[in-house]
Amino acid sequence: MSEKRQVLIVTPSESLRTELRDLLKSIDSVASAPLMASDNRQGLELARTRSPQLAIVELSANTIPAQTLARELSAVAPDTTVVGLLKPEFFASAPSESRLLIDSLRSGFKDFLNYPVSKGELEELIRRLSSETRRSPAKLGAVFSFISNKGGVGKSTLSVNAAAALAQRYPDRVLLVDASLQLGVAASLLDLQPTSTLTDVAREQNRLDQTLLEQLTVRHSSGLHLLAAPKNPIEATRVTEEILTQVLTLGRRTYDYIVVDTFPVFDAITVALLDLTTRAYIVTENVVPTLLGAANLIELLDQLAFPSDHVEVIINRFQNLSGSLGREDIAARIGRSIDWVLPYDKRVISAANLGRPIIEYSPTFFRFRRVLAKLVDSMEEVVGHAKSNGTTLERLPAEFTQTPTVGE
């Protein structure tokens, strides 16, 4: 007996959800209890956690929200086929039906159903799309976002160095997105002078595809591709969460690794980035006010239902000094264990001032580079690549396992 297919229905209309549910119940190849969402956010979360084979999304004359959802669905649930449902009002109100349908196809819709939907039409669609999915399984890259709700913790330096280290292993397969829109520094940390930025992506949004996305990046000698932040805060206002969603969705189809540096403010853009994030790294320091902010950020992610096993905490610039917080104290302050401890190393500062990633500046035996290499090993494991150095993953090296507690 073949496995029954799970279907997700996304529409604000309760009556339409009920009608489609009853229709799907009469189809043998479909699970008897389809997933139902009244808005895009709920639909995205159901897709992330339940991975349905098919998503039916109602399209209105304003197709932008549905197109954004289609892009997000293709990123968080790549095996989900997205189909648009067109009601008669769509054709009556749409100024250019063909243009809207083409844009919807580009955003990730695979097909369309006209309302009212017949059982035979729906059965044929499910049979055809299921066959196409078996022939061409999706293989997408992973998104690694470095986040913090406080500036000055070394988040940008860490994301740039992690991306450069990945690119050294996988040249031209790593994209660094500088989504710290108001004050992006990735280009300067790599000593690059990009001729295009995310502002150009916003300008080309309607014709953006994988080829154009790659053309808008600047290549570093390590093999890293950088999509730079806007040149100033005024240009940054043109970059919306929809544009970044489009960037990450296309990026996952083009690159194996997408590393994202974010602005230390939790806003709609950060939420949109997290919706497409495979693993989030919270970067903090062993200073009480900063740790309190990290604890608040962890709680906020819980409230947003971001999977806790997709979050890792990095203590950056750690110094083993008398009176400093030890690992157990830090874990108690933030309410969870610490995943990574990166030591303070003045060479990191020197490398940043020279616009060089640490992999080009310091010998491999220095502690910061050793821990960074292990972090990159773990990122490889997420994507499914074998670790290039063949070492056993040890998240906390011995020199960090005995740190002083308060008062020692």
pTM: 0.69
Task: Select from 156, 165, 225, 220 the least CA-distant residue to 374.
Answer: 165
The pLDDT assigned to 298 comes to: 94
Cα–Cα distance measured from residue 358 to residue 341, given in angstroms and rounded to the nearest whole number: 17
Cα–Cα distance measured from residue 311 to residue 179, given in angstroms and rounded to the nearest whole number: 19
Kind of pairing between the strands at 7-10 and 54-59: parallel
Task: Select from 76, 81, 197, 73 the least CA-distant residue to 141.
Answer: 76
The pLDDT assigned to 304 comes to: 86
Cα–Cα distance measured from residue 397 to residue 346, given in angstroms and rounded to the nearest whole number: 19
The pLDDT assigned to 401 comes to: 37
Q: How far out from the chain centre does Cα 49 lie? A: 15
Q: Could you tell me which CATH class the domain 7-135 is placed in?
A: alpha beta
Task: Select from 144, 183, 147, 151 the least CA-distant residue to 165.
Answer: 144
DSSP 308: G
The kind and range of the H/E element at 230 are: none
Cα–Cα distance measured from residue 326 to residue 400, given in angstroms and rounded to the nearest whole number: 9
Dihedral pair phi/psi, residue 305, rounded to 5°: 65, 30
DSSP 350-384: HHHHHT--GGGTS-TTSHHHHHHHHHHHHHHHHHT
**Ranges for all domains in the chain classified under CATH 3.40.50.300:** 142-400
Nearest 5°: the CA angle 325, 315, 155 is: 135
- DSSP, collapsed to helix, strand or coil, labels residue 191 as coil
Cα–Cα distance measured from residue 392 to residue 121, given in angstroms and rounded to the nearest whole number: 53
Nearest 5°: the CA angle 296, 298, 299 is: 65
**Ranges for all domains in the chain classified under CATH 3.40.50.2300:** 7-135
DSSP 342: E
CB 117 within 8 A of CB 84: no
Domain 142-400: which CATH number of 1.20.1740.10, 3.40.50.300, 3.40.50.2300, 3.50.50.60: 3.40.50.300
One digit per residue, the tens of pLDDT, for the chain of length 408 reads 356 788 999 999 999 999 999 999 888 888 778 999 999 999 988 887 788 889 999 998 788 899 999 988 887 787 789 999 988 776 565 556 677 778 888 888 989 999 999 888 888 888 887 666 554 545 789 999 999 988 999 999 999 999 999 999 999 999 999 999 998 999 999 999 999 999 999 999 878 888 899 999 999 999 999 999 999 999 999 999 889 988 998 898 899 999 999 999 888 899 889 988 999 999 999 888 899 999 999 999 999 888 899 999 999 998 877 667 888 889 998 999 999 999 998 888 899 999 999 888 766 667 888 999 999 999 999 998 755 443 323 334 443 333 333 333
- DSSP, collapsed to helix, strand or coil, labels residue 310 as helix
Cα–Cα distance measured from residue 388 to residue 342, given in angstroms and rounded to the nearest whole number: 21
The pLDDT assigned to 1 comes to: 38
Cα–Cα distance measured from residue 405 to residue 333, given in angstroms and rounded to the nearest whole number: 12
The pLDDT assigned to 363 comes to: 66
Identify any residues that bridge with 341 across adjacent strands, giving them in sequence order: 315
Q: Which residues of 263-375 form beta strands (DSSP E)?
A: 279-284, 311-318, 340-343
The pLDDT assigned to 396 comes to: 40
